[in-house]
Amino acid sequence: MPPRNGNLVLAAAAAALLVLLASPPSCSAAAPRRRDPVVVPVTRDPATSLYTIPVRYYDNLVVDLAGPLVWSTCAADHLPASLSCQDPTCVVANAYRVPTCKVTGGGGDCSKNVCTAYPYNPVTGQCAAGNLAHTRFIANTTDGKNPLIQVSVKAVAACAPKRLLARLPRGATGVAGLAASGLALPAQVASSQGVAGRFLLCLPRLGYGQGVAIFGGGPIYLGEGLPDFTTTLDYTPLVAKRDNPGYYVTANAIALDDARLPLPRGALAAGGVALRTAVSFGQLRPDVFRPFVREFEKGLNRSDAKVAAVAPFPLCYRASMLGNTRIGYFVPAVRLMLAGGKNYTMTGTNSMVDVKGGKACLAFLEMKSGDAASSPAVILGGFQMENMLLQFDSEKKRLGFARLPFYTSCSNFNFTKTQ
């Protein structure tokens, strides 16, 4: 059955709004008042180590910092989007197709205003054809301290077959792409709700409750009497990649405590540092990984505590023999020395992971595939971002970051409504 006229209007408005967002504001027009940001809880799945957010009463989507689309298996009330293949929204939906996705067709018919996109599972690498549909996400506004008012966020999502859910958390119905793309969730929330084009992400540690994501900026308070933690952020420029809407930054060096790693010339310049929530643990390209592990072992200098490695981790120790502090095991701090002069510092909390048998292992893996010329030198996985406050600012093209102090955590946001 063809879509109703109301849907045609909505589709045209969505496309027009995407064009408007991409255009500079008029100097003669008064800037509209920004509304309250939108908040959602973030949950870490114990079986997969992936993170999910609720977007409807019965839908949880996997958080994917590198994903350009929102996609799900689509409920019956999703309305088909009447969009020609030349419509700006359809063009945006197909702007960042994963190079390995060889699927064609899928039901899109330009003559009938049906736009087909190609949603992608970031864990399995599989993709599928799926038509765009109109939907709404249910969330709450926030003052940075508590949820305030429930809102319905208009959005466009790709519908995918259920087989694309393979290896995602049980109960997940799709993926919420958070990349710097016009149809990723942050841009759609900004468009629908009139909030700023930036978002905060605070990933929880397993077993400590929910973390938090705030679309539209700050503030954010993580405990009674504590400050707005957006005031503690350091910043580094985000680096745009051609044909890739993911988030990248530049590292000038890697240090263990204050000792810089002896890396091959230009190793970090090639590929930079990527941030990816669909990757559980940090990954280093082989030319960076090998000196990193060697120097970490040398810097820790605890051969008496070393034990057999536990796959997939390269270096493991008897946990009881490593000193434990408020910021994790007493091991060399891993510092990414970023453009702009600030360091992204990972203490034992984000560099060592507990495994069975009373062992603690270095939580970085060697990259196994990819063209060395195009692969990132470093991928920060979800574990390396837990209990870090991150602000992805597409307006100012910068990443804000702060390691939370030991007396609070990402799970300290108060999700009790006050209104």
Residues 100 and 195 in one domain: yes
Chain-wide mean pLDDT for the chain? 89
26 within some domain: no
Among residues 173, 188, 215, which one ends one of the domains?
215
Single out the residue in 192, 215, 238 at which a domain terminates: 215
* Residues contacting 54, CB < 8 A, separation 6+: 40, 41, 60, 138
Is residue 17's pLDDT more than 60? no
Quickly list DSSP for 219-274.
----STT---GGGG-EEEE---BTTB-SEEE-EEEEEETTEEP-PPTTTTTTT-EE
Mean pLDDT on 357-384: 88
Would you say residue 165 has pLDDT above 90?
yes
Structural contact between residues 284 and 367, judged by C-beta atoms closer than 8 angstroms:
yes
pLDDT band at residue 10 under the 50/70/90 scheme: very low
* pLDDT surpasses 60 at 208: yes
What range defines the domain where residue 272 resides? 229-403
Residues 197 and 248 in one domain: no
Residues 185 and 268 in one domain: no
Within a domain: 293:
yes
Higher pLDDT, 19 or 134: 134
Same domain, 234 and 207: no
Q: Tell me what pLDDT residue 395 has.
A: 95
For the stretch 328-356, pLDDT in tens is 999 999 999 999 999 999 999 999 999 99
Query: Are residue 63 and residue 208 in the same domain, yes or no?
Result: yes
Domain tally for the chain? Answer: 2
What confidence score (pLDDT) does residue 56 get?
A: 83
Do residues 200 and 325 share a domain? no
Q: 169 with 252, same domain?
A: no
Work out the pLDDT band at 8, boundaries 50, 70, 90: very low
Task: Tell me whether residue 159 is in a domain.
Answer: yes
What does the pLDDT read at residue 95? Answer: 93
Please check whether residues 172 and 240 belong to one and the same domain: no
Q: Rounded mean pLDDT of 230-234?
A: 98
Please report the pLDDT score of residue 13 as a whole number. 36
Residue 152 lies inside a defined structural domain of this protein: yes
Residue 257: CATH number of its domain: 2.40.70.10
Q: Which two tokens stand for residue 334?
A: 């891993």
Please check whether residues 79 and 197 belong to one and the same domain: yes
Pick from 324, 300, 224, 240: nearest CA to 274? 240
Q: Is residue 160 part of a domain?
A: yes
What pLDDT, on the 0 to 100 scale, is given for residue 33?
Answer: 56
Q: What is the pLDDT of residue 27?
A: 34
Cα 138 from chain centre: 20
Residues 86 and 159 in one domain: yes
> Are residues 138 and 253 part of one domain?
no
Quick one: pLDDT band at residue 304, thresholds 50, 70, 90?
A: very high
Q: Is residue 279 part of a domain?
A: yes
Task: Based on the fold, state whether residues 253 and 326 are members of the same structural domain.
Answer: yes
What is the tens place of the pLDDT at every residue in 109-137? 666 788 999 999 999 999 999 999 999 99
Is residue 31 situated within a structural domain? no
Domain membership flag for residue 414? no
Q: Is 285 exposed, middle or buried (0-12, 13-18, 19+ CB in 10 A)?
A: buried
| Residues 122, 51: Cα–Cα separation, whole Å | 12
pLDDT of residue 80: 82
Q: Which of 98-107, 207-216, 259-268, 338-347 has the lowest mean pLDDT?
A: 98-107
